[in-house]
Structure 1
Amino acid sequence: MDGASSSAFRPKKSGEKVPVWTSTRYLLAVLGSFGFFSAYGMRVNLSVAMVAMVNHTQKAALNGSEDCVPNTNTTGQDKPGEFGWDSGEQSIILGAFFYGYIVTQIPGGFLAGRYGGKPVFGLGILCTALFTLVTPVAARANKYLFIAVRVIQGLGEGVTFPAMHAMWKSWAPPIERSKLVTITYSGAHLGTVFSLPISGLLCDHFGWPSVFYAFGALGCLWFVIWMLMVHNTPEEHPRISYVEREYIQGELRREGTTGKNESIPWLTFATSAPVWAIVLSHFSNNWGFYTLLTDLPTYMKEILLFDLTQAGFLSAVPYLCIWLVIIFGGQLADFLRENKFLSTTAVRKVFNCGGLVLPGIFMVATGYVNCSQQVLAIVFLTFSVAMGGLCMSGFNVNHLDIAPRYAGVLMGISNCVATIPGFAGPAVVGILTQNAKTWITRKHQWQIVFYITAGINAFGTITYVLMGDGTVQSWAMSQSEAKRAAPLDEDRERLVVNEEHVDPRTYGFIAHDHNA
């Protein structure tokens, strides 16, 4: 678009609308959401399948509490599994995904910034899907081959968040970022909602290999749809309406961050307090999230004494709630910003604090609930997971606030650091619980796990309050852009896009000649 001839925007019809729910940017959000749905389905299905794959008969001694009597009703899902892996080996297998996932975070952001988010995001999920399909063969062939397959799956999926952030750099008007990003990333939790119970049913009725075949096939199907319907930028999209394209480009120009990346200021990233605030909050949030994501079915089976099908369905309840919190939180965050009730910085801090403090409190409370109080345990776990969804409108959108042009790389950096809990969290659980001889002992060890998580969340809360920011940083704009950028947030008049009649000429849109 640079250097294209321009003229004043004149809509063909008076009162032409800027589309919302029928727009291409919201279609991108929905398709991206289904992409994360597929990705997380392939990521977490092993958490349930592992319970069916492993022989748990030796763990009957854990049921040693007067209030917690083992269920003597033997069902299909209680039959001995094929593998005799102990808690430590299971933790290594569950965490192997993240050893690959951490490697491709920063390269994913860099490649998406250079070649576009569409191919990077799509190919990443396709890679994960193909190796999901071969997982049963690898698991039965050799434990180490199984671990290698999980690492490769992580390599593929590691590019997804940075690539999607790079997409939103070009597609998300500043005032709609919370809405669009939360819709997109909420698919990860919706995928968890479906993956956990469906994996339990598939294991029960068709055997554990069916879990990997079903979700792998779904990932391949999604890839085809994504490549056919999505485009890297509004300029490339053949079906976007003229008014929507000009609305997106006009809003991004006013922010002053529409230029291409000439170089990446790595040293500036390392010395920027707002960047560190995002990184530390991302790490803290993911510690609790990954701990429960990978080990919640096991906790519900061994501590709360649910069977496999129950564990799968009930493990999904918290993730259904977090999906709702994420969607509602994104709408509320942008409502507060757009109507000038709070600045962007204040909104990010309020949501981020709620998303870290509340989960820690409810997680600690869960550790003191007996298996005879299963309903209360589910309530506490649900609140712990669900309240973490507030962070999606906190640090998780913040990359786009402080440095839109580098959003993909910044997401790669923060998610790289935040991937450490993916293998460290399950490893801590494995170390603390593998030598438990009784149910009581294991429960106490899980209480320690929950206290560690709450402490890490408190650390993330404090650092974000002290260092977080919601404004575009000076180093994220070129000198020419900084001079002409209009102020955002509460100091500027916003274009309200709620399917109202809008004359874009009022807001100084500039139309570019498509043929230039």
Structure 2
Amino acid sequence: MGVTDDMIGEEIVILNKGPRIGMRHVQTLLMFLCLTIAYSMRVNLSVGIVAMTTKDTSPNPDIPVYDWNNKSLILSSFFMGYITLQVLAGELGKRYGPKWFVLIAMVINAGGCMLTPLMAASAGSYGVMGIRIIQGVFQGFFFPNIHNLLGKWAPEEERSTLGNFIFTGAAFGTIFALPVTGVIAGSWAGWPVAFYFFGGVALLWCLAWGIFGSNSPEEHKYITKEERMYIQSSLKEVDVNKPAPPTPWKAILTSAPVWAIVVANFGQNWGYATLLTEIPNYLSKVAHQDISNNSLLSAAPYLALFILGLLFGPLADGLVTRKILSPANTRKLMNTIGSVVPAIALVILGFVPADKIAAIETMLIIAVGINAAIWCGFQVNHVDLSPKFSGVLMGIGNGSSNIFSIISPLFVQILVTDETDVKQWRTIFIIAAAVYVASDIFYLIFAQAERQWWDSCGTETQDGDSNSTVPVDETLKTKNV
């Protein structure tokens, strides 16, 4: 049978990626801003609580100051809510589309952020904890549904670059929130205005997302046919009208590559949560930095995280597309760089004298900045294994691992009885380093980057065994442990 003109034309359409800046890039930008704003509302309390509990941070005498001795508990309360609904969030987004779940979650977070000063005044530290728990519950909808969106929008050959750019939003939000909160808290306006500001920015994002956000290329009003077909052909998902398949829970929960991601997530959350929640406190109590210097120094490591995050994504995609490394080995290399180098920096930080501000800041920049490599490691690995169920995988990994985001600040509160004692902080940093390395070793042993056989599953029996609606490549099935 010869090649017809129609077939040639169809092939040209599939190879055409559409506009240089297409709707997949618009979605990527919106998801980046989602994480930027989410992390701004998440971390502003790390600086805000210093101003809320320290006298004379603002020249305005009417700004309230509270005598709270449970700061680490307050900071960890966000994660008490954050771990609760992530698996459900991923499943709901897969079934019904993530757009409106993400929008509602952001509206609730914005409201909670703006209510924080009122709850602090009326209900004390427990009122703030209640707001933070609610914010955590609904921020649990973001990461799983961003992975659901990536599974629909990110072509395979652009996955690291687009995914990495989105994840740098976490760093950019931290960069933005820490100094802005410090400047506002140190001004006549005082710390309450910081919470009103970030809540207002979140509501503006909701407006943009409601207009331009979309569950998939097939639903987007403004996408070109060329770009839509390019994404579909890359993901091998041309049949867009079929309903979302049931989640193959048994296959997922017995998959060694999935557990590699979960364990890597454990280590990441322990180390990152320790740094994210405690850097301002460490700089205040050990390095004796005031609120303005504290917030700027706290933000500097996240500026490095943001910049390196933009570099690691194209580097990882280049290693794969030029066939220098396989996708699996690229994920393992990036994960190791992002875990082991920060671990070394944390150990060194524990032995830096308190008066060596430049050395402290250098180690913090290395510990946080190089951590960006994990975004090309386990953080995007969910979509490699299963574009269909990547949101569910993210909910399992991120939801369960954030138990350690609760434990690590509480660990600080228990072990650091004297916040000015460098030796007590040294123990905290060494433990975080050990967790980083141990989790990476597990990831190196069990991680994969091939689409798993159960990604093609369309039905599931009552006992959880998955049956594929399409022929399954048995060579793929044997790779799952």
Please give the TM-score of this superposition, normalised by the length of structure 1. Answer: 0.84
**Counterparts of 2:354 and 2:400, CA distance in 1:** 35
Letter in 1 for 2:39: Y
Contact preservation (8 Å) 1:41, 1:191: yes
Write out aligned runs for 1:261-280 (5 A): 261-280=244-263
- Residue 17 of structure 1, CA deviation: 4.6
Matched, 1:413 2:392: no
Aligned equivalent of 1:332, options 315, 338, 341: 315
Matched, 1:149 2:131: yes
Q: Counterpart in 2 of 1:42?
A: 41
Q: Counterpart in 1 of 2:454?
A: 475
Aligned equivalent of 2:331, options 329, 339, 348: 348
Matched, 1:32 2:28: no
**Counterparts of 1:480 and 1:8, CA distance in 2:** 27
- Residue 262 of structure 1, CA deviation: 2.4
- Residue 19 of structure 1, CA deviation: 3.8
Distance 1:257 1:344, change over 3 A: farther
Aligned equivalent of 2:151, options 169, 181, 184: 169
Task: Render the CA deviation track for 1:63-106: whole Å, top value 9, x for unaligned.
Answer: xxxxxxxxxxx8747999611111xx111111111111111211
Q: Counterpart in 2 of 1:299?
A: 282
Q: Counterpart in 2 of 1:452?
A: 431
Aligned equivalent of 2:77, options 85, 96, 119: 96
Write out aligned runs for 1:48-67 (5 A): 48-55=47-54
Write out aligned runs for 1:352-371 (5 A): 352-371=335-354
Task: Render the CA deviation track for 1:115-171: whole Å, top value 9, x for unaligned.
Answer: 112112222122111111111000111132221111111111111000110111111
Distance 1:78 1:369, change over 3 A: farther
Distance 1:399 1:77, change over 3 A: farther
Q: Counterpart in 2 of 1:510?
A: none
**Counterparts of 2:114 and 2:357, CA distance in 1:** 35
Task: Render the CA deviation track for 1:275-307: whole Å, top value 9, x for unaligned.
Answer: 110000011011111111111111111111111
Structure 1 residues 25-34 or 264-273, which shifts more? 264-273
Write out aligned runs for 1:420-459 (5 A): 420-433=403-416, 435-436=417-418, 439=420, 442-459=421-438
**Counterparts of 1:258 and 1:463, CA distance in 2:** 39
Structure 1 residues 418-427 or 195-204, which shifts more? 418-427
- Residue 261 of structure 1, CA deviation: 3.6
Letter in 2 for 1:352: N
**Counterparts of 2:25 and 2:474, CA distance in 1:** 26
- Residue 421 of structure 1, CA deviation: 2.0
Structure 1 residues 475-484 or 313-322, which shifts more? 475-484
Quick one: percent identity of the two aligned structures? Answer: 34
Write out aligned runs for 1:175-254 (5 A): 175-205=157-187, 206-253=189-236
- Residue 257 of structure 1, CA deviation: 11
- Residue 374 of structure 1, CA deviation: 0.4
Matched, 1:378 2:378: no
**Counterparts of 2:19 and 2:412, CA distance in 1:** 45
- Residue 14 of structure 1, CA deviation: 9.7
Aligned equivalent of 2:102, options 117, 121, 127: 121
> What secondary structure sits across from 2:21 in the alignment?
coil
Contact preservation (8 Å) 2:264, 2:378: yes
Distance 1:257 1:236, change over 3 A: closer
Task: Render the CA deviation track for 1:160-211: whole Å, top value 9, x for unaligned.
Answer: 0001101111111111111111111111110100100000000011111011
Write out aligned runs for 1:249-260 (5 A): 249-253=232-236, 260=243
Structure 1 residues 414-423 or 133-142, which shifts more? 414-423
- Residue 233 of structure 1, CA deviation: 0.9
**Counterparts of 1:288 and 1:256, CA distance in 2:** 42
- Residue 52 of structure 1, CA deviation: 0.5
Contact preservation (8 Å) 1:355, 1:391: yes
Letter in 1 for 2:159: R
- Residue 9 of structure 1, CA deviation: 6.8
Higher relative contact order (CA 8 A, sep 6+): 1
Task: Render the CA deviation track for 1:366-393: whole Å, top value 9, x for unaligned.
Answer: 1111232101110110000011110000
Distance 1:235 1:449, change over 3 A: same
Distance 1:254 1:82, change over 3 A: closer
Matched, 1:401 2:410: no
Please give the TM-score of this superposition, normalised by the length of structure 2. Answer: 0.90
Contact preservation (8 Å) 2:58, 2:185: no
Count of aligned pairs: 458
**Counterparts of 1:9 and 1:484, CA distance in 2:** 29
Alignment gaps of 5+ in structure 2: 1-5, 458-467, 477-481
Contact preservation (8 Å) 2:13, 2:229: no
> What secondary structure sits across from 1:405 in the alignment?
coil
Contact preservation (8 Å) 2:218, 2:240: no
- Residue 419 of structure 1, CA deviation: 0.9
Structure 1 residues 251-260 or 137-146, which shifts more? 251-260
Q: Counterpart in 2 of 1:464?
A: 443
- Residue 462 of structure 1, CA deviation: 0.8
Contact preservation (8 Å) 1:261, 1:406: no
Distance 1:254 1:483, change over 3 A: farther
> What secondary structure sits across from 1:10 in the alignment?
helix
Distance 1:154 1:283, change over 3 A: same
- Residue 11 of structure 1, CA deviation: 7.0
Contact preservation (8 Å) 1:259, 1:405: no
**Counterparts of 1:257 and 1:394, CA distance in 2:** 29
Task: Render the CA deviation track for 1:432-463: whole Å, top value 9, x for unaligned.
Answer: 12x32x83xx2111100001101101111110
Contact preservation (8 Å) 1:337, 1:344: yes
Contact preservation (8 Å) 2:350, 2:429: yes
Letter in 2 for 1:349: K
Distance 1:126 1:15, change over 3 A: closer
Distance 1:246 1:310, change over 3 A: same
**Counterparts of 1:425 and 1:199, CA distance in 2:** 24
**Counterparts of 1:13 and 1:173, CA distance in 2:** 17
> What secondary structure sits across from 2:214 in the alignment?
coil
**Counterparts of 2:57 and 2:206, CA distance in 1:** 37
